[in-house]
């Protein structure tokens, strides 16, 4: 028996193991080379097909609603439809048996510009030649259209066996189109969020879900299932303070004025006095494609306000005392020099002195600036302190982004010159937004209490309040009660006998101030780059419910003063609101019954039978004095009695007396006698030519109605 050396035995075993390892390495290397060179394309395609991941799915965005629940912005579902033509789950037999009828459906209901034969060829190529997994069929399909298309041949077999891929998208819709468009705002990829949409984005957006996506090609991902694996929660609704009716009134009135005056842009804001709720905010500008809400001028555009700022100046003087509205100020025929600059009134006058009230009502630049300059030239910081007390150098803090900060010079800072104070007193050398100025006027209307303007009253989920936003007081009082009372009287005087007297109405009383500011002034040859017309005020004057400001920039036709351009817009808005809001009208039963004056008794003209029937039904006592054959009667009041008398001059052959008749009765009487009628005006007949009693033959009678 041979003896084997232990050392040799170990070496043999080592060599065997080494040989096995080398053999395995060679086999692995050979397989790797084969995979890379021969089978690479196959395995890469398989790897790509098996690559899946979860992607975020945004929730249904909440709606933005008006105060009464009207929808201002909402998300509507739309669907993009695709087809996985090369899906291995589609049986060859099913595809070939269905392609003819499927192509016909495409040609009939999807895109009729291609024939059924063209669609068949198209689908065949994308399955067998291009092997397309994500072929676009239709974009922005509605829910009803998706349900209909799912019943097409092949597609009715379901998501996998039919190859139909449904991707849900949402589009933000504004049912009222331009109405408050900029205030409602938007959230867009690559742009700064704007308006309520931007400021309440988290509330409206809420959570995101998860959807499983499969990669089917270079940068091409398709959903594995129609439904998300983790469904997102929908966002909350935002309830605004906007009133759609007032918003529509403000927008239409502003648009008409912009068109009439061919202005560049404008804004109109309506606020609820007691709460600070913004009931309407219209911003309209001229764009290359027409008028549109292209910018929030009311909140973001700080400009020199002009004469509407004079209210702050006169209130500062009243706060410090020493002046009465009956005191006089020398306006020097509407011109005064401060250092190297000349201050002028917009209208030259022969007057040398005006009472302070008249100077304010007439918007005298010279009068107001002299009062302020004489009082504060040596201590301008006191004037600035009053402006701070009025809240004017501060933003309102409204909840949406984009509010411009006021720019009001502080005497302690740089930029203050000898002419700063007089020019600031009339609304120049400072900048403020329309909303900030309206907040100040609203405080005056509210007895001195300054309210924070706000646009959102609450957020809701499924009609249940999540967060409620209440009115916020910025300042309990901006001035003394006596100052506020005097300021109100001054604003009323502007409408009673000042620059807005032509806007006065007997239906209700309102108060306010006109403003006309020069834009881009002081250039070459002291040129002016246009005007800004404004009107700020409130109504009714006795118990203010709403405040309003209108600002229109660069009117080029039909006037440019605040009273001619912005004032009529304010008046139209106030008229429409007053006609629909009963709280603005005094109840008729609060006063005693009026004594019926003789001239208030009815004095109508009509047929005898009709007149007697009406008087009897109304149980009106009257005295009759007529013959049996009299048929045209008239009522004549005498003391507290009505007399029913016969109308004289009604012979058939003569021109009749039609005075006091309505047009219908007058034409009836005249044309029945063969008389041609010409009439002017509307109402009742106030005069007739020729007079009654002449021959009716061949006559033409002209009647004037009033």
- One DSSP character per residue, 164-219 reads EEEEEEEEEE-TTTTTTHHHH-B--TTS--BHHHHHTHHHHH--EEEEEEEEEETT
The alpha helices in 229-309, defined as continuous H runs, are 244-261, 297-300
Looking at 531-535, 649-653, 666-670, 689-693, which range is the least confident one? Answer: 649-653
Q: Which pLDDT does position 54 carry in this prediction? A: 59
Q: Do 309 and 227 reside in the same domain of the chain? A: no
Looking at 60-69, 422-431, 436-445, which range is the least confident one? Answer: 60-69
Cα 682 from Cα 501, distance rounded (Å): 27
Res. 523: pLDDT tops 60: no
| Residue 102 contacts residue 197 (beta carbons within 8 Å) | no
Q: Do 305 and 363 reside in the same domain of the chain? A: yes
Q: Which pLDDT does position 248 carry in this prediction? A: 95
Write down which residue in 239, 262, 282 finishes a domain. Answer: 239
- The mean of the pLDDT values for the chain is 86
Is residue 566 in some structural domain?
Answer: yes
Structure tokens at 208: 């995101």
What are the backbone angles phi and psi of residue 167, rounded to the nearest 5°?
Answer: -115, 120
| Residue 515 contacts residue 537 (beta carbons within 8 Å) | no
Is residue 46 in some structural domain?
Answer: no
| Residue 87 contacts residue 222 (beta carbons within 8 Å) | no
Q: Do 73 and 219 reside in the same domain of the chain? A: yes
Is residue 699 in some structural domain?
Answer: yes
At residue 491, the 3 state secondary structure works out as helix
Q: Do 547 and 680 reside in the same domain of the chain? A: no
As a whole-number percent, the residues of the chain with pLDDT over 70 amount to 84
User: Sign of torsion, CA 503 506 507 513?
Assistant: positive
Angle formed at CA 36 by CA 35 and CA 38, multiple of 5 degrees: 65
At residue 599, the 3 state secondary structure works out as helix
Cα 420 from Cα 349, distance rounded (Å): 25
**Structural domain count, the chain:** 5
Res. 300: pLDDT tops 50: yes
Looking at 362-376, 542-556, 667-681, which range is the least confident one? Answer: 667-681
Q: Do 640 and 668 reside in the same domain of the chain? A: no
Q: Do 316 and 431 reside in the same domain of the chain? A: yes
Write down which residue in 215, 239, 263 finishes a domain. Answer: 239
Residue of 139 and 453 predicted with greater confidence: 453
Cα 281 from Cα 259, distance rounded (Å): 18
Q: Do 574 and 625 reside in the same domain of the chain? A: no
As a whole-number percent, the residues of the chain with pLDDT over 90 amount to 51
CATH number for the domain that contains residue 702: 3.30.10.20
Looking at 184-188, 207-211, 593-597, which range is the least confident one? Answer: 593-597
pLDDT band at residue 598 under the 50/70/90 scheme: very low
Is residue 557 in some structural domain?
Answer: yes
CATH number for the domain that contains residue 178: 3.90.1310.10
Structure tokens at 93: 């037999």
The pTM for the full model equals: 0.72
Q: Do 10 and 72 reside in the same domain of the chain? A: no
Q: Do 454 and 563 reside in the same domain of the chain? A: yes
Is residue 496 in some structural domain?
Answer: yes
Q: Do 423 and 556 reside in the same domain of the chain? A: yes
Give the domain extent around 127: 54-239
Q: Do 622 and 658 reside in the same domain of the chain? A: no
At residue 280, the 3 state secondary structure works out as strand
Q: Do 156 and 74 reside in the same domain of the chain? A: yes
Give the distance, in angstroms, between the CA of residue 210 and the centroid of all CA atoms in the same chain: 37
Q: Report the 10 Å Cβ neighbour count for 410.
A: 15
In a 13 Å sphere around the CA of 693, the CA atoms on its Cβ side amount to: 3
Is residue 379 in some structural domain?
Answer: yes
Is residue 591 in some structural domain?
Answer: no
- Which residues, listed in sequence order, are joined to residue 168 by a DSSP beta bridge? 79
Looking at 15-24, 192-201, 381-390, 434-443, which range is the least confident one? Answer: 15-24
Q: How many helices (H) and strands (E) does the chain have?
A: 22, 31
Res. 213: pLDDT tops 90: no
Is residue 592 in some structural domain?
Answer: no
CA distance readout (Å), 278 to 273, 398, 456: 9, 10, 9
| Residue 200 contacts residue 118 (beta carbons within 8 Å) | no
Helix%, strand%, coil% for the chain, nearest 5:
35, 25, 35
Structure tokens at 142: 């509605």
Average pLDDT rounded to a whole number, residues 62-69: 93
pLDDT tens column, 472-496:
999 999 999 999 999 999 999 999 9
């Amino acid at each position: 028996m041979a003896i084997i050396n232990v050392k040799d035995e170990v070496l043999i075993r080592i060599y065997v193991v080494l040989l096995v390892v080398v053999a395995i390495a060679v086999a692995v290397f050979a397989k790797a080379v084969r995979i890379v060179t021969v089978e690479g394309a196959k395995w890469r395609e398989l790897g790509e097909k098996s690559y899946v991941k979860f992607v975020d799915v945004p929730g249904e965005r909440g709606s933005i609603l008006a105060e009464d629940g009207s929808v201002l912005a909402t998300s509507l579902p739309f669907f993009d439809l695709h087809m996985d033509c090369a899906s291995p789950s589609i049986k060859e037999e099913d595809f070939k048996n269905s392609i003819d009828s499927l192509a016909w459906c495409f040609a009939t209901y999807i895109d009729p510009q291609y024939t059924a034969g063209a669609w068949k060829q198209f689908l065949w190529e994308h399955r067998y030649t291009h092997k397309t997994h994500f072929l676009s069929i239709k974009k922005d399909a509605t829910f009803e259209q998706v349900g209909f298309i799912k019943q097409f041949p092949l597609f009715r077999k379901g998501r996998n066996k039919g190859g139909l891929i449904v991707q849900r998208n949402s589009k933000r819709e504004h049912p009222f189109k331009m109405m408050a468009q900029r205030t409602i705002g938007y959230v867009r990829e690559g742009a700064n969020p704007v308006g309520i949409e931007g400021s309440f984005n988290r509330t409206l957006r809420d959570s995101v879900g998860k959807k499983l996506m499969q990669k089917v090609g270079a940068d091409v991902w398709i959903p594995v299932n129609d439904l998300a694996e983790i469904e997102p929660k929908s966002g909350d609704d935002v309830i605004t303070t906007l009133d759609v009716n007032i918003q529509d009134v403000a927008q239409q009135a502003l648009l008409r004025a912009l068109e009439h005056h061919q202005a560049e842009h404008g804004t109109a804001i309506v606020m609820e006095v007691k709460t600070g709720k913004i009931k309407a905010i219209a911003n309209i500008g001229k764009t290359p494609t027409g008028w549109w809400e292209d910018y929030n001028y009311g909140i973001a555009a700080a400009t020199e306000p002009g004469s509407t700022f004079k209210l702050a100046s006169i209130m500062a003087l009243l706060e410090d005392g020493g002046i009465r509205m009956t005191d006089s100020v020398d306006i020097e025929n509407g011109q005064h020099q401060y250092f190297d600059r000349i201050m002028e009134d917009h209208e030259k006058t022969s007057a040398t002195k005006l009472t302070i009230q008249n100077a304010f009502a007439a918007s005298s630049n010279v009068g107001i600036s002299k009062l302020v300059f004489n009082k504060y030239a040596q201590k301008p910081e006191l004037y600035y302190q009053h402006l701070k007390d009025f809240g004017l150098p501060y933003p309102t803090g409204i909840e949406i982004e984009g509010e411009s900060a006021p720019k009001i010079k502080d005497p302690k800072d740089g930029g203050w010159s000898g002419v700063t104070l007089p020019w600031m007193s009339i609304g120049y050398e400072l900048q403020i937004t329309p909303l900030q100025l309206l907040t100040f006027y609203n405080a005056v209307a509210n007895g001195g209490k300054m309210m924070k303007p706000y646009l959102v009253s609450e957020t809701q989920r499924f009609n249940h309040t999540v967060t409620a936003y209440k009115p916020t007081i910025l300042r309990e009082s901006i001035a003394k009660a006596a100052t506020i009372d005097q300021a109100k009287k001054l604003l009323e005087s502007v409408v009673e006998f000042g620059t807005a007297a032509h806007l006065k109405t007997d239906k209700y009383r309102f108060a306010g101030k006109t403003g006309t500011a020069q834009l881009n002034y002081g250039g070459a040859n002291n040129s002016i780059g246009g005007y800004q017309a404004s009107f700020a005020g409130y109504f009714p004057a006795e118990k203010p419910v709403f405040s309003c400001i209108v600002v229109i920039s660069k009117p080029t036709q039909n006037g440019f003063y605040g009273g001619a351009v912005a004032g009529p817009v304010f008046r139209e808005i106030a008229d429409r609101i007053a006609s629909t809001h009963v709280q603005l009208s005094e109840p008729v039963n609060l006063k005693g019954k009026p004594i019926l004056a003789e001239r208030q008794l009815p004095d109508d003209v009509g047929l005898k039978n009709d007149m007697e029937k009406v008087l009897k039904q109304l149980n009106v006592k009257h005295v009759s004095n007529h013959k049996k054959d009299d048929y045209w009667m008239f009522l004549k009041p005498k003391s507290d009695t009505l007399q029913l008398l016969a109308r004289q001059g009604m012979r058939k052959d003569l021109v009749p007396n039609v005075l006091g008749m309505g047009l219908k009765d007058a034409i009836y009487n005249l044309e029945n006698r063969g008389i041609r009628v010409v009439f002017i005006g509307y109402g009742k007949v106030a005069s007739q030519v020729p007079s009654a009693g002449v021959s009716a033959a061949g006559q033409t009678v002209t009647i004037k109605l009033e």
